[in-house]
Amino acid sequence: MAVGGKRRWWWKRRAAVVAGVTIAVSVWVGSHCYFRRENMAKAEEALVSMCEERARMIQDQFAVSVNHVHALAILISTFYYQKQPPALDQETFAYYTAKTAFERPLLNGVAYAERIIHSQREIFETRQGWTIMTMKREPSPMQDEYAPVIYSQETVSYIEAIDMMSGEEDRENILRARATGKAVLTKPFRLLESNHLGVVLTFPVYRSGLPEDATVEQRVEATAGYLGGAFDVESLVENLLRQLAGNQDITINVYDITNASEPLIMYGPQIPEGYMPLSHVSMLDFGDPFRKHQMHCRYREKPPLPLSAITTPFGIFVIIMLGGYIVFAAKNHYDNVKEDCRKMEELKVQAEAADVAKSQFLATVSHEIRTPMNGVLGMLDMLLDTDLNLTQKDYAQTAQVCGKALISLINEVLDRAKIEAGKLEIEAVPFDLRSILDDVISLFSSKSREKGIELAVFVSDKVPEVVTGDPGRFRQIITNLVGNSVKFTERGHIFVQVHLADNSDLGADEKVHSGLNGLSRSEKVQIMSDCTFDTLSGFEAADTRNNWENFKLLLSDEMCLQEASTSDKEPDIVTLIVSVEDTGIGIPLRAQDRVFTPFMQADSSTSRNYGGTGIGLSITKCLVELMGGQINFISRPNVGSTFTFTAVFKRCNKDAIADTKRTLSEALPTGFKGMKAFIVDGKPVRNAVTRYHLKRLGIAVEVANTVKMMLNSLTRQNSNFRTGRQPYIILIEKDSWYTGMDVYLHNQLLMLKQNDCVLELPKVILLVTCEYDKMSSGSLVDTVIIKPLRASTVAACLQQVLGMEKQQKKELSNGPTNLRNLLAGKNILVVDDNKVNLRVAASALKKYGATVECAESGKDALSLLQLPHKFDACFMDVQMPEMDGFEATRQIRLMESKANEQISNGGASRGEDSMIVEWHLPILAMTADVIQATYEECLKCGMDGYVSKPFEEQQLFQAVAKFLVSKPSSDS
């Protein structure tokens, strides 16, 4: 097929070439012929005009001569006037004719022959003194009449006495002339003497008295003689023509065509010569109607072909050939390009198909691998649960780790393939962004501690608590980026920030805002002397936009915006800017443009040093784009990289939150509300991070750059703290700490206490980045928190320090049994309108040893909870008909506050008061939709917390522990 096509194509091409050449050649030939013909026509025209010109000229000259001879004839006739013989003699005639010869340039000479009848011959001969001779110079034989020449011009004197009638032509001439009375020409013949071709002109000379209309006989009778003249046509014509231009170019023949079938040549070569095809014939009228003459003109040589007749067609030919070649080449090129294009299309389709097939294959294969791998991992899990000796355990664990690595790699490949195949869909569920970031941070906490890197996360207050989006993918992006950063960073920090997109734009107009807080400016100078860069760890970061200058602006901006924006209608879409900044090795400049290409690491040595497949960032990019965002980065080798991406989420309306959300993380403890903390940290970015975490716990924060400043402000503000009931916490960064500080600080604080500046000794907490620092903390520090900070770890530490939950650590280690301890013997009321739920919840609580009572509606619960009651806690369903959980709780709280008032008013006995400080039944909301908004609502109406429904052991424990531990159970 293809060969045939090619062949056909080749033939076509060949045909085109042949056609093109043929056209060009024919045009060439055609134009050449045209030029030739044109040239010929021109030549002919010239010939015609030349010929006519010559003809007219000869004719005119001839006519002039004839006229003159005519005049001479008349003159002679006058000599016959009543004279016989005429009164003229030879001398006079010769003299006259010689003098007037210029008038007759064509005539050799003229002669006059008298008509002599035979009877007069003798008289005549005697009078003249000679005998009449014939042409042959013999004495004339006897004739009827004779015409002997009696007068002659000197030039022709040799014909004197010759009888003109003896010559054939002359005789004919004479007879014709006297009959017509007009000039008569002979046919051409060789003239005597000169032997030139010539004609003889003969005029009759009549005696006077001849009427005009005389008959032939009268004329013959009146004839006195004949005047004749010989035209030496040959030499005369030659002389004539010599005077004209272009004489050399043409040949001329003059014919006498009186006898049409046998033209007689008068002039010109006997055999016509010259260029035969082109000739012109002009008629000549020499005044003798009997004789007809023609002049034939032709070029001596073939008229030369002008150069242009060759060059122009050739030029045209060349142009046509070139044009044809151009068209041909263009067509050829077009064909080639078209063919290539078609091939390319085909290949493209193939490639695309292959790509899709590859992606599908990858997806399928990855999936198929995953299934058995899950089996392998599950079995390894179970194997690890069995009794193994140390070696076996080690092997099994190694296998498990490898298996997990393999699974994660497969998952990545699968993700990538899914994205490429367009099969990955982004979920839209509400989730808590901050807790996800906390999770990611905790995931990398051990690694960052090992390396001594500061790992921190900061989420702007403007970012809503809950957004709708794909938490899994978001987590994946963050994990990828942070994972990369951790992998490539040996010192310094990794800092994850989340801001609202529109908000962070404000960082650009830095100058406008920097004047606002002059105080911090002076502080900044001090800071600058300590460390080189205003970043989290003091190391330089690649993206200078992330330094304190801008960060501060974002913060201060938040402050003012928060006040203003509450009334605003918030938009439906939340665009977040997330940046992950590290101070790692950075990305080499030449590798920066292919960072997002799959399986492409900065260079091959990277994978040797740091491992990994390099697929992560490409997936990250795909995910970010799927989430409607963009990712880019700024990186400087040996300084660090900052990856920034935007993500678009939807804002959650409260109802949707309540309905679809399941908790993604444990709720943060709420017991710290109203506490105050002092952060001692020289680095503003870092203390902002710390502040962020403490704020999430509801702790009010103050900041000081050094310990000394902190102590000063403590002294200054003592009155404030005296009134505050809550314990006071001091968090000190490792940087602001030095050996011996603990003693100094302790003494100072003791002094403050003695001076009544503080009610009780503040708890001192040291913030460190790695385990090593922990050693140097000194003994008088209450506790040490190893970074990365997370709200929940901070909370746990604070709980520990403040003695809020002394047993928590222990309990966490063995949950269920402790849950049993917590709940055993407790009276618990479960309120739910759904019987199934009620039964399940009750049964679950019973399992942990609690005594459970059930109520099927809020009202039932209220009646059961009339004070005083025996219940230690109440689990309340939120959504119930008639009276929902919130309303019921409000009513309970109302009852309790009334009772409490009565107590405080001294309505109850002192003894009771010491037993129960005040009525406050821990009420826990039970809801399937546990999210922050619900949680807030729970708190608002006086609930103490919530548990998810159905119960999850860990979460149940956490929720219950908060309230039941403070009253340690009797049987623990």
Binding site for other proteins (CB under 8 A): 378, 382, 655, 659-660, 832-837, 839-841, 843-844, 847, 877, 879, 881, 928, 949-951
Nearer to other proteins, 332 or 843 (CB): 843
Structure tokens at 523: 């502080």
Nearer to other proteins, 660 or 726 (CB): 660
Closest Cα to residue 418, out of 367, 483, 351? 367
Q: Which residues contact 950 (CB under 8 A, 6 or more apart)?
A: 837, 840, 841, 844
- Distance, in Å, from the CA atom of 134 to the CA atom of 643, rounded to the nearest integer, reads 142
Minimum distance from residue 845 beta carbon to other proteins (Å): 10
Minimum distance from residue 844 beta carbon to other proteins (Å): 6
Minimum distance from residue 812 beta carbon to other proteins (Å): 21
* Count of C-beta atoms within a 10 Å radius of residue 363: 21
Whether cis (ω within 30° of 0) applies to the bond prior to 139 is no
Minimum distance from residue 377 beta carbon to other proteins (Å): 12
Q: Is 110 helix (H, G, I), strand (E, B) or coil?
A: strand
- Give the 3-state DSSP-derived string for 649-710, with helices as H, strands as E and coil as C: EEECCHHHHHHHCCCCCCCCCCCCCCCEEEEECCCHHHHHHHHHHHHHCCCEEEEECCHHHH
Minimum distance from residue 841 beta carbon to other proteins (Å): 8
Q: Which residues pair with 876 in a beta bridge?
A: 831, 925
Nearer to other proteins, 519 or 836 (CB): 836
Q: Is 570 helix (H, G, I), strand (E, B) or coil?
A: coil
Q: Which residues contact 597 (CB under 8 A, 6 or more apart)?
A: 618
89 phi, psi to nearest 5 deg: -125, 170
Nearer to other proteins, 467 or 656 (CB): 656
Which helix (H) or strand (E) segment holds residue 827: the answer is strand 827-831
Q: Which residues contact 464 (CB under 8 A, 6 or more apart)?
A: 570, 574, 651, 652
Minimum distance from residue 437 beta carbon to other proteins (Å): 27
Minimum distance from residue 946 beta carbon to other proteins (Å): 15
Q: Which residues contact 643 (CB under 8 A, 6 or more apart)?
A: 481, 484, 485, 579, 580, 581, 631, 632, 633
Nearer to other proteins, 423 or 835 (CB): 835
Minimum distance from residue 908 beta carbon to other proteins (Å): 39
Instruction: Kindly write down the DSSP assignment for every residue of 461-513, as one continuous string.
Output: TTS-SEEEE-HHHHHHHHHHHHHHHHHH--SSEEEEEEEEHHHHGGGG-HHHH
Nearer to other proteins, 139 or 378 (CB): 378
Whether cis (ω within 30° of 0) applies to the bond prior to 950 is yes
Nearer to other proteins, 188 or 403 (CB): 403
Minimum distance from residue 928 beta carbon to other proteins (Å): 6
493 phi, psi to nearest 5 deg: -145, 165
Which helix (H) or strand (E) segment holds residue 381: the answer is helix 308-385
Nearer to other proteins, 382 or 564 (CB): 382
Nearer to other proteins, 421 or 822 (CB): 822
E-state strands within 300-382: none
Minimum distance from residue 655 beta carbon to other proteins (Å): 8
- Distance, in Å, from the CA atom of 93 to the CA atom of 104, rounded to the nearest integer, reads 15
Nearer to other proteins, 343 or 839 (CB): 839
Indicate the DSSP class of residue 157.
Answer: G
- Distance, in Å, from the CA atom of 947 to the CA atom of 951, rounded to the nearest integer, reads 7
Nearer to other proteins, 559 or 836 (CB): 836
Closest Cα to residue 777, out of 732, 729, 711? 732
Minimum distance from residue 661 beta carbon to other proteins (Å): 11
Structure tokens at 73: 């004839």
What ranges in 80-167 are assigned the alpha helix state H? 90-99, 118-128
Q: Which residues pair with 514 in a beta bridge?
A: none
Nearer to other proteins, 759 or 844 (CB): 844
Query: Considering just the CA atoms, what is the radius of gyration of the chain in Å?
Result: 70
Minimum distance from residue 949 beta carbon to other proteins (Å): 7
Nearer to other proteins, 913 or 953 (CB): 953
Minimum distance from residue 941 beta carbon to other proteins (Å): 19
Minimum distance from residue 877 beta carbon to other proteins (Å): 8
* 827-831 and 945-948 beta bridge pairing: unpaired
CB 191 within 8 A of CB 230: yes
Whether cis (ω within 30° of 0) applies to the bond prior to 788 is yes
Q: Which residues pair with 467 in a beta bridge?
A: 431, 651
Please report, to the nearest 10 degrees, the dihedral formed by the alpha carbons of residues 187, 191, 196, 198 taken in order.
-30
Minimum distance from residue 825 beta carbon to other proteins (Å): 16
Minimum distance from residue 652 beta carbon to other proteins (Å): 14
Nearer to other proteins, 378 or 571 (CB): 378
Minimum distance from residue 647 beta carbon to other proteins (Å): 24
Longest dimension (CA), the chain: 217
Nearer to other proteins, 816 or 868 (CB): 816
Nearer to other proteins, 479 or 837 (CB): 837
Instruction: Kindly write down the DSSP assignment for every residue of 32-59, as one continuous string.
Output: HHHHHHHHHHHHHHHHHHHHHHHHHHHH
Q: Is 83 helix (H, G, I), strand (E, B) or coil?
A: coil
Nearer to other proteins, 159 or 841 (CB): 841
Nearer to other proteins, 184 or 854 (CB): 854
* 184-185 and 197-206 beta bridge pairing: antiparallel
Minimum distance from residue 926 beta carbon to other proteins (Å): 9
- Distance, in Å, from the CA atom of 461 to the CA atom of 465, rounded to the nearest integer, reads 9
> b or e along 659-687 (b: 16 or more beta carbons within 10 Å of the residue's beta carbon)?
eebebbeebbbebbeebbbbbbbbbbbbb
